[in-house]
Structure 1
Amino acid sequence: MTIKAGINLERLQRWDRHVKETYVDPGILPNAQTVVYRQGELVHQSVIGWADVERQIPVREDSIFRIYSMTKPITSVAFMMLVEEGRVSLSDPVSRFIPEWAGLEVFEGGELGSYRTAPVNRPMQMVDLLRHTAGLSYLIQQGGKLDDAYRKLGLGLKTDLDEFIAGIAGLPLEFSPGEAWHYSAATDVLGYLVGRISGVPFEQFVKSRILEPLGMVDTDFFVPAEKVERFMPCYALTEQGRVIFNAVEGSHYLGAPRFVSGGGGLVGTAADYLRFCRLLLRGGELDGVRLISPKTLELMTMNHLPGGADIASLSRSAIARSESGSAGVGFGLGFAVTLDPTLTLVPGNVGDFYWGGAAGTYFWIDPLEDLAVVFMTQTLYCPDRVRQTLRTMVYAALEDSPTWPESRA
C-alpha cells in the first residue's frame, strides 16, 4: 500500500480504471484528465483517451480544453477584487452601473415584443448576480419563461457585451430579484461590470490581474496560433451517438471573441486551473501572489441563498440538477457550496465548494481535507454520474480524514 499526502494511491487508481473502462473505451467520453492535489502535493495525475478521436491523437497533460462555466469562479473573483478595492459593494443596485436596467420589471405573460409585466419587489443587487437570484435567464436554459427570447435575440452568442446588456434591458425578468435561484447569464453581466467599473476591458482585467500573476499561461479567451496543436475538438453525446460539436478547424476560439463571456468563455489546461484552485485552497494567495483576502474568500464560499435555503428548494432552473446535485447544496458568490452531504448522497464536507463546465469539466475544493481536484474532458451532455463517482472514489482513497477522529474509529 502506497500512501502519499494521506491518499492511498492504489485505491485512487481505481478511478482511472473505472473512467477508462466505463466511459472512454465505450466511446461515451473521448478523454479524461484527472488531477488530485492534497496537503501541498500533486498526488495524482492521469490522462486517458484521445484529444482527437478521428485522428487518434492522444490527449496530453498540457492539452487545452474549453472550460465553459468553470470561467464563472474566475469572473466572480475578479468582481470581488473590485469589491475589496471599494469600487462597488454587494448591496449596490445593479442599475448604479447599468442605469438602463433601472426600469426592469417581472414577466407576467405575453411574447417577445408584447410582454405583460409587473414591478419588481426590490431592485436587483450585485449579490443577486453572483448567486443567480437576479431574475435573469440564459440562452442555454430550457423551460424558463424567457430562455427562448435570449436565443432569438442571440444574447451572449451574436452580440458583443454592450449589445448584450442593451438586449436584456428590453426584456422582463423571470422573477423578482431574490425570490428564486435560476442559473443564468448573470456572470456574463459580472464580466461586463468588471470592465465598466475598472475602466479596462474585461478580458484585459482577467489577464493582467489574475491569469498572468498566477502563471496561468495557457488560459485565455482564445487559442493563439502557436498553441492550436494542443487544442482539441469538443464532442457531444446525442441520440445518434457521439458527434463533433465544435471542431478545431474554423472554431471561433481561434480568434479574439466578439462576445467576451465571463460565464463561459475561457479555454485552458488542467495545470492552469489547478493553480487557481490552489489559490482558493490557500485563502486567496499562491506563491506570493494574493488576489483576494481570506475573509473575502470565506464570504464567497458561504451559502448566500435567501433564508439559508438549498438550490433544490429555490430552483427554477433545468440546469440545477445537472450542475450541482441540488438537494443539500447552497450557492455562494460564484460557487456551489455543500450544506449537507446526507442530502447530496455523495461524499464531501460541509463547506466544500465547486462547479463544472458544459463540456464535462469539473473541480472541487475541500478546505477541511486540504484537497483540490480538477477533472477535464471535452463532451457536452457528459453524464452526471461521472462527477459523482469521481468524488466517491477520491474520498474513498483518503486514509487520514480529519472528520473521522480516533474516538469514532
Structure 2
Amino acid sequence: MGELSTAQVSDVLGAYVESGAVPGAVALVSRRGEVTVDAIGVTEPGGAPMRRDTIFRIGAITMPVVAAVALMFTEEDRLGLDAPVDLWLPELASRRVIRSFTADLDDTEPAQSPITLRHLLTNTWGFGLFFGAGDAPLRRAANELRIMNGPPVPENSDSPDEWLRRLGTLPLVHHPGERWMYSIGADVLGILLGRASGQPLEQVLQERVFDPLGMVDTGFFVPAAELDRVPPAYVSDPRSGELHVYDPGQWGTEWRERPTYPSAAGGLVSTVDDLLAFGQLLLAGGRVGSNRLLARRSVASMTSDQLTPHQKAGAHVFPGFFERHGWGYGLAVTPSGRFGWDGGLGTSLWVEPESETIGILMTQRSGMPLQSDLYRDFWAALG
C-alpha cells in the first residue's frame, strides 16, 4: 500500500452509493496510528444518514476473534494445539470418513487420526461447506439436520450441544488434516472454548477480548437501547443487482435477542472502532497498551500460512483463492504478510504490518471474498 488517499476512498464508496449498489458504508483506515473515517450514504433508502457508530453484522470476521481466544487457551495450557479434542467434544471422538462425497452414508472408513485444535483453527478437521456434487446423500443429510444454517434466528435455534450432537451423527468428508473445508470448524471451536472454560462463549469473548480492548458494541446480539443503530442487511440479485432485505434493521433484526446458539463462524455484530481495536491488537503483536493479551509468537502463527499445498488442493469454496492467499488461524494471509478476513454480509477487515495499515469496510450489502467489486475497489483505493 502506498500513501493514504482518503479522497480516493471517499470517491470509490460515494460512487457505489450514488449508483444504488449499496445504501451506505462506513470505512476506517488507520496508517501508522493516523485514523480516518468515512460514513457515506444512508442506512436504508430514504433512511437516516450512516454514522460512524452504526452497528453491522460482521459475519465471518467473528472467526479471528474466536481464534485469538483459542490461542490464549493454548498459552495457559487449557488446550493443546495438537492434542485430541475428544475430552471436551466426545461427540466427535472415533470419527469415520465417507469414502467419497457421493457415497452412501454408511460407506465409510475409520479416521486416520483424531481431531485437534489445530485442525479446527485451520479448517482442516474434515467437514465444512459443500460445493458441487449435486444431491449427494451427505449433502441431503446435512441439510435435513440443519447443520449449515448460518447465524440462527434466536427463537428457533437449538443449543450448541444439540447442534453438535446432530453433527456427530454424520461422517467426515476428509480425514482430519487432509483438506481445507470452510467455516463449520469455527462453530465447533466456539463450543470447544465454552466447554474448556466452563462458560458460555459470549462470556468468554467478553472477558478475554471485548472488555480488555474496549469493544463496547461487539456481541452476539444488540441491546434494545442500541437497536436504532442497526441498519437492514441486503442481498443483491445476481442478475439484476437489485437489493432485497435479508435481515430487517432495528427492532426487526434477528440480532435483537441473545441467541440460544451463538455462532463462532459468523454471529457477531460490531462497529468500525471496535474492529479497529482488534486489528490494533494483532498489529501490535498481541499487546494493548501496557497489557499483553497474546504472546507475540501466537500472533505470528495466527497470521502465517499454516496450510500445505496438499491441504489447499481441491478447496473450491472461493475459486482461485489459494492462488494468492494462504490460511492461518481463523483468517487469511497473503505472501506479502497482509492478513484479515471478510464477512459475507458486507464487511472486511485486513491488516498490513509493513505499512502499519488497518483497513475496515462496513456495508450492509452481501459480498464474498474475491467476488465483490466493492471490496476490491475499496482496497485498491488504499494504494
d(CA) in 1 for partners of 2:31, 2:310: 28
Aligned residue number for residue 338 of structure 1: 334
Q: CA deviation at 1:299?
A: 1.3
2:184 matched residue in structure 1: 185
1:388 and 2:376 matched: yes
The answer for the alignment partner of 2:248 in structure 1 is 247
Deviation at 1:277, TM superposition (A): 0.3
- Deviations, residues 335-385 of structure 1 (Å, cap 9, x unaligned): 11102xxxxxxxxxx221110101120011111111111111111246522
Corresponding residue of 2:7: 13
Which region of structure 1 is more displaced relative to structure 2, 142-151 or 329-338?
A: 142-151
Shift of 1:286: 1.4
Residue 321 of structure 2 corresponds to residue 328 of structure 1: no
Residue 199 (structure 2) aligns with: 200
CA–CA separation in structure 1 for the residues paired with 2:274 and 2:125:
30
> Secondary structure in 2 aligned to 1:356?
strand
Write the deviation string for residues 67-126 of structure 1: whole angstroms up to 9, x where unpaired: 011000000011111111011111011223212211211123588994321222222221
Secondary structure class of the residue paired with 1:95: coil
8 Å CA contact 2:101, 2:173 repeated in 1: no
Q: Which runs of 5+ in 1 are unaligned?
A: 1-5, 340-349, 397-409
Q: Which moved more, 1:78-87 or 1:176-185?
A: 176-185
Q: Report the CA distance between 1:148 and its aligned residue.
A: 4.3
Equivalent in the alignment of 1:126: 117
Equivalenced residue count is: 368
Instruction: Summarize the Cα distance change of 1:75–1:110 in structure 2 as closer, same or farther, 3 Å threshold.
Output: closer
Alpha carbons 2:286, 2:299 under 8 Å: kept:
yes
Give deviations 1:148-199, integer Å, cap 9, x for gaps.
4333212254322101111111001111112211113101111101111111
> 1:315 Cα shift?
4.0
> d(CA) in 1 for partners of 2:86 and 2:51?
45
Deviations 1:9-67 (A, max 9, x none): 5x33122212221x22222122221111011221x2101111122x4221110000000
Q: Secondary structure at the match of 1:91?
A: coil
Aligned partner of 1:106 among 97, 100, 124: 97
Indicate the RMSD between aligned Cα atoms, in angstroms: 2.2
Superposed, 1:59-208 pairs within 5 Å as 59-108=50-99, 114-138=105-129, 141-143=130-132, 146-155=138-147, 157=152, 158-208=157-207
Letter aligned with residue 12 of structure 1: T
1:267 equivalent to 2:284? Answer no
1:273 and 1:310 map into 2 onto residues whose CA distance is 33
Alpha-carbon distance between aligned partners in 1 of 2:94 and 2:342, rounded to the nearest angstrom: 33
Q: Which runs of 5+ in 2 are unaligned?
A: none
Q: Name the CA distance, whole Å, in 1 between partners of 2:196 and 2:190.
A: 10
Partner of 1:347: none
What per-residue deviation string (whole Å, max 9, x for no partner) do you get for residues 186-236 of structure 1? 011111011111111111111122101110001111000110110111011
Distance in 1, Cα, partners of 2:347 & 2:310: 23
2:86 is paired with a residue of what secondary structure? helix
Are the equivalent residues in 2 in contact too, given 1:305–1:330 (CA < 8 A)? yes
Q: Which residue number corresponds to residue 284 of structure 1?
A: 286
Q: Indicate the residue corresponding to 1:47 in structure 2.
A: 39
Structure 1 184/148 Cα, relative in aligned 2: closer, same or farther at 3 Å? Answer: farther
Kindly, what percent of the aligned residue pairs are identical? 33
Match of residue 38 from structure 1: 31
- The answer to whether the aligner puts 1:376 opposite 2:374 as a matched pair is no
Q: Which has the higher contact order (CA 8 A, sep 6+)?
A: 2
Secondary structure of 1:25's aligned partner: helix
* Partner SS, residue 259 of structure 1: coil
> Whole-Å Cα distance in 2 between the matches of residues 127 and 7 of structure 1?
35
Q: Does 1:221 align with 2:220?
A: yes
Equivalents in 1 of 2:183, 2:160: separation in Å?
15
- Measured in 1, the distance between the counterparts of 2:25 and 2:49 equals 11
The 1:183–1:315 alpha-carbon spacing in structure 2 relative to 1, beyond 3 Å, is farther
Q: Secondary structure at the match of 2:28?
A: strand
* Contact 2:341/2:348, CA 8 A, preserved across alignment: yes
- SS in structure 1 at match of 2:107: strand
Distance in 2, matches of 1:74 and 1:126, equals 15
Deviation of 1:268 after TM superposition, in Å, equals 0.9
Cα distance in 1 for residues equivalent to 2:347 and 2:141: 28
Give the one of 340, 346, 360 matched to 1:360: 346
CA gap 1:147/1:79 in 2 versus in 1, 3 angstroms: farther
1:118-150 CA distance string (max 9 Å, x none):
222222221111111111124xx5336644433
Given that 1:112 and 1:149 are in contact with CA atoms closer than 8 Å, whether structure 2 keeps it comes out as: no
Aligned-partner residue type, residue 206 of structure 2: K
Distance in 2 of aligned mates of 1:305 and 1:112? 27
